[in-house]
Structure formats: C-alpha cells, structure tokens
Structure 1
C-alpha cells in the first residue's frame, strides 16, 4: 500500500507526542524519527510526493536525436553542418532512424548547464572520458595533443617537447592547456606565444590564428589538440606536419579518450549509444580519418592501425 507524504508527517507527529509524554522512550523516539524522516526528506527532495517519479531516461527524445553543439566550432561543428561532429551526429541519427535536432550554445563556461542539464538536448558528440559533468559513453576515439611544424623545417622530426631542438623556438600554445605544463618544465614558456583558451568562436578562433601565424613565420611551431589541429591542417595547410605527442612520460597526460556525453543517471540511453558505437566502429573511424583526426590505438601509444 502506498503511503502519502501527508500520512508520514501525521505519523511522525503522533510519535513525537508519545515521546514527549513518556520520557523513558525519548531515546527510542530519536532513533525512530531519524529512521523515518531521512527517507521522507529524500522523497521530498526528489519530488516524489507519494507518487512514482519519472526516470531520467524518460527525458530523452524518442523522435529526434537532440544534439548539444557549438554553432561556430569548426572543424568539429557549425550551424551549416560542415564539422565532422555534425557528420557523426548524422551517422548516429541514421542508425537510430530519426532526424537530428540541434541546441546551439558556445562551447564555453555554462555549456553543459545551459544545454544538456537544462534538458534542451540529449547528447554531446565529443566529450573527454572521465569528466564528472556528464555521464560518458564508451569512447569512440583516442587522440592526443600534437606538435605542428612546416614539413620542410628542422623541427619535422621532433617527437617530444623535451627535444633540445625546441630550445629558444617561438611556439604557439593555447594558454592553460595541458601541454603548457610540459613546455614550462622544459624551459619553453619564455619564448612562447599564448592564445586564448575560452573564447566565443563566433568571434575568435585561436586555432586558426595559430596556424596562420605559423604559415607567416610569426611562430616556429604550434601545439594544438589533435582533433582540432589535424583537420585544420588537412583542410588548409597540407605542407605542415602533424605529430601526436605520445612520447611524453611525465604528467599531465596529453592523450585522451573521447566519448559522447549524456545526462548523469541516463544509463538506458548510455547503453544504447554504447551499442551503436560498438556496432559502427569502422564507419566512425573512417569518418574521423577522412576528416584528418590523428587517431591512436586505445592505449594512446601508437597511431591507429600501427600497433
């Protein structure tokens, strides 16, 4: 039999009167009150109110693939659908046999809060594994930060930021990104050129600016997250060489597994996407490699397919 919140409150009041009338049972009343009031408070906090609440997975649309995305974040996504995450969303939607519907918001502070957590969309196409703001699916790619240099330069064979050839070189770096710690350790920060980390890419594009500066000789090398730098080099700078920084042995890590992000608690939706990722792994890899993403093996120790 279901007991309402009001009934529980009345029973608590009766117990309270009994406890006051008989001082000898007061210690026992405290135990009972604690045992009853905690689940009652939890029920009120969750909004049950004596009735069954909705499961979080009920928030996921059954008619559309509702994607949270940045409207001006090429090569990943944009409103015109030109990014490879747009194409990944198309692939997922096709397998689910439903159309894609976007909620657009700049990939900056408040992105998850104002999109996924606001229940305006159901999935973020690319999210680093292990981040507590979302529930991660299984990863669909592993990649790394990369060193980008002109192919004809004397830096084309550099594979680690500890290489002496980088001493005194002007290196472009996104301020606050993990490779900056490695540069500081190796004495490369003094000559570095920093670029902004958190920007509205409708008005500013640090990655494009950095590669333009490299093209013009303003800097000697660029360090960019591979899934951004690789595709941009393929599209506009074919003479540049992109080297994943997988030889670093000290923290912080520069290799990351990328997942799709869903709302915390949505295990049914997570499992469905996990199954889709597993069954379509080859198609997803082809899509990413065609875009120019430098894919690595699962451990991040070698280029994908060269284990």
Structure 2
C-alpha cells in the first residue's frame, strides 16, 4: 500500500476514533493527573478551604476523590489576584472546587449549587425581620459591606452607602479576613448589620456566631443579581474531564447538598427566588 494511503487511513482512523471509548479517554488532556485529584485551593479561606482540611470544599474534594478512587492532593495558593494563573493555568492542579458559572478564566462544570448574598444581624436586635435592602428599618444604620461586591449597588440605590463601613475585597486571607473582621465588628456594635456572600457568612455564623441571624437576600428585584450558580472549574478544552465531573455531580447531588447544608451554606433555587431547606 502506498505511503500516502497509509497516512490517509491513519488520519480517518484518528478522526473516527473520537466516537470510541478508548479514543474518548485519549481526549482527556495528559495534564489531568491519573494518580490523584489535584485540587487548586486557598490554604486560609475558612470556612471554604483550609490547609487542615476542615473547609466544606475540602470535604467536597474528599467526596469527589472517593468516587474517583483517588487520593486528594492540594496545590495551595491565596485566592486573590493570580490564583488561577498560578495554579490551574500553570498546570499544577486540575480542579477548582468552587467557581462562579460563566467566568471565562476556567471551563465550568454544571453547577452543583446556587446561593446568594445574605444580611446578617444580631438575633436579639431590632433588624431581625429585615429581608430586603429597601426596608426603611435600615435607614441611617451602619452596614458592613465588602467593597465592589454586587450588594453595594443596591445599598447605593437605597441611600445606605453614606454610613456604610467598607471591607477589602481582594486580600491574602493568611493575614487578613474581611468576613471575620466584619462579623467581629457586628458582635462589638461597631456596625449594625453585615452583608456577606452566603457561602462565606452562613458557615462562619453557624460555627462561631450563634447569636446572629442570617437572612438570604432573595427579594431584590432590580439588578445586579445577588445569587450565583457555583460550579467546579477546569482548564479550557478539557471536555472529557468536565463531562466526568458533570456525571459525578449528577450522581452525588444529594450528598453534595447534605454536605453544604451541614456546613451552613444557604442554598436557593436556580432562579434565586426561593430558599431551599434540608430534606429529612
């Protein structure tokens, strides 16, 4: 057979192979480790991820790794500027356990939960019934807000920014924790209320601030939206790895939900209009 014919048949075999199981596995980038679930994570992002493994994303990683029959291996880096560039894109690890849907830096899996920003107040205070940032009860109150986050726009619209206390958005949590600082200020009376991303504030309150109440903000009708769908992030182009994780998420959704509820993460429906409750 002429050399050109052999080359042509080899090319056809390669293209057709995309529909075969063995070729499907070959599509998985060689960069994805077959020996460990290599997780890109912040070592000091309590209660989300911690070096000692107590964060709820640590537990989620253990769940996924068990399904893959692999050990978990971490690459630690502060989740601030350069996090994705120095971890996932540097090919040092293969998955970010929690990433907002639609972000262009990563390829998203299907979302495995939806959550929203939350208003946190003292349980025995006079703001416990507030469930919207347009509530007149918030007028002239000093509210803690992480600068540059979506709720700030709602605060500005409702005239709440003038007395607000801002906290830093992008920090190295090994040396600074805006969420903890904000809750400590609420505890001491420095501020009257706190607004935090629910998956951050909810678990912190459950673990360390039992005298506080967390109210998920699902009643804001004007933009920007305050709810986000959370996925796992992988490198662009690694479709086989993405599909494998999608399958794992689908099969283990009940266990994932239970893990998040146990941590204190407030879950909402996909449209951000209803707070979900744990199933008994």
The corresponding residue for 2:37 is 65
Partners of 2:194 and 2:29 lie apart in 1 by 42
CA offset digits 1:58-103 (Å, max 9, x no partner): 2111110000000100000011111000000000000100000000
Partners of 1:79 and 1:242 lie apart in 2 by 26
Structure with higher Rg: it is 1
Q: Does 1:122 align with 2:127?
A: no
Q: 1:286 aligns with which of 247, 253, 258?
A: 258
Q: Does 1:239 align with 2:211?
A: yes
Partners of 1:255 and 1:214 lie apart in 2 by 23
Partners of 2:271 and 2:159 lie apart in 1 by 28
Contact 2:113 2:230 in 1 (8 A): yes
The corresponding residue for 1:216 is 188
Q: 1:194 aligns with which of 166, 170, 183?
A: 166
Contact 2:205 2:212 in 1 (8 A): yes
Give the TM-score taking structure 2 as reference length: 0.89
Q: Does 1:275 align with 2:238?
A: no
The corresponding residue for 1:170 is 142
Question: Which structure would you say has the larger RCO, counting Cα contacts within 8 Å and 6 or more residues apart?
Answer: 2
The corresponding residue for 2:18 is none
The alpha carbon displacement at 1:55 in A equals: 5.0
Which stretches in structure 2 are left out of the alignment for 5+ residues? Answer: 9-25
CA offset digits 1:115-157 (Å, max 9, x no partner): 0011000000000001010000011111000000001111111
- Which piece of structure 1 moves more, 150-159 or 115-124? 150-159
Which stretches in structure 1 are left out of the alignment for 5+ residues? Answer: 4-53
Cα RMSD over matched residues? 1.5
Partners of 1:101 and 1:71 lie apart in 2 by 13
Number of residue pairs matched?
A: 257
The alpha carbon displacement at 1:56 in A equals: 6.0
1:1-307 paired onto structure 2 within 5 Å: 1=4, 57-305=29-277
